[in-house]
Amino acid sequence: MSYLDSLFSLKGKVALVTGGGRGIGQVVALGLANAGAETVIVSRTGADETVAQIQKAGGKAYSLIADITNEKAVDAALKEIVSRSGALHIVFNNAGICIHKDTLDASIAEWREVLDINLTGEYVVARAAGRLMIEKGIKGSIINMASMSGSIVNIPQWQASYNASKAGVIHMTRSLAVEWSEYGIRVNSLSPGYIATPMSVDTPKELKDAWMPLIPAHRMGKPEELIGAVIYLAADSSGYTNGSDLIVDGAYVCI
């Protein structure tokens, strides 16, 4: 293995992906496995298809069922990962939801649901992983899923709860990065733009028609175009990258 290859290799690492049953989570899980990581998918409904694809390609993977907002369930899942795999080196904190509603029409229950999954859920997973890494002396990498919506206000759809949750993820990431730096744990966030996944592809056509002229690249991104960013943040190549928000959005936030 060349020096360059070793910088981006995840061989011998154990990676956790939340919400890896479909969309970005599934694609990134496949990418992490292809880079050599044993990959564990944690989701509310299971991820048999993702695991099967990884195993068919010769990789090691399994899935666990847990609600990321449930602290006891997350702790139990991480305990099982250590029992089965021996360690946990990488976390891709990906699970999330979005509700497009005008603020005056959205309920407080909907606000709380989005914040609970997107922000509190990521906090629960990151906190449990950080505690485990510190106890085991693991110099790990935690990658929190944010969004360009944490830096800008999307139009024409209104999604105050989603935007607030992702802005919270970005600053939570910075806070954890500083707090855990002394343990050698790196915490960064990934902020995609409009990516062609079920969350955005199933969006009404009038919204997508409004987005396209605003994207300098004049297209939505592909989930596969996020793999390199995640592997960079997970691997030794990013050893001095900590507390950063990596935006992959086709230059949307530049205008």
- The answer to whether 29 touches 224, Cβ cutoff 8 Å, is no
pLDDT at 200: 64
What are all long-range contacts of 238-243, with beta carbons under 8 Å and residues at least 24 apart?
238/141, 238/186, 238/188, 239/186, 241/186, 241/188, 242/177, 242/181, 242/186, 242/187, 242/188, 243/173, 243/174, 243/177, 243/178, 243/187, 243/188
- The answer to whether 33 touches 54, Cβ cutoff 8 Å, is yes
Q: Residue 1: which pLDDT band, with cuts at 50, 70 and 90?
A: low
pLDDT at 79: 97
**What are the pLDDT digits (tens) for 67-100?**
999 999 999 999 999 999 999 999 999 989 999 9
> Does domain 3-250 fall into CATH 3.40.50.720?
yes
- The answer to whether 221 touches 27, Cβ cutoff 8 Å, is no
Arithmetic mean of pLDDT, 235-252: 97
Residue 180 predicted with pLDDT over 70 = yes
Residue 204 predicted with pLDDT over 90 = no
162 in active site: yes
- The answer to whether 42 touches 63, Cβ cutoff 8 Å, is yes
Instruction: Report the distance separating Cα 83 and Cα 66, nearest Å.
Output: 16
Q: Which of 166, 191, 194, 252 is catalytic?
A: 166
β-pair partners for 248: 192
79 in active site: no
Q: Which of 162, 191, 194, 238 is catalytic?
A: 162
The structure tokens listed for 117 are 């999954």
Q: Which of 147, 165, 189, 238 is catalytic?
A: 147
**What are the pLDDT digits (tens) for 15-59?**
999 998 889 999 999 999 999 999 999 999 889 999 999 999 999
pLDDT at 188: 98
pLDDT at 201: 61
**What are the pLDDT digits (tens) for 143-160?**
999 999 999 999 999 999
* Sequence ranges of the domains in the chain: 3-250
166 in active site: yes
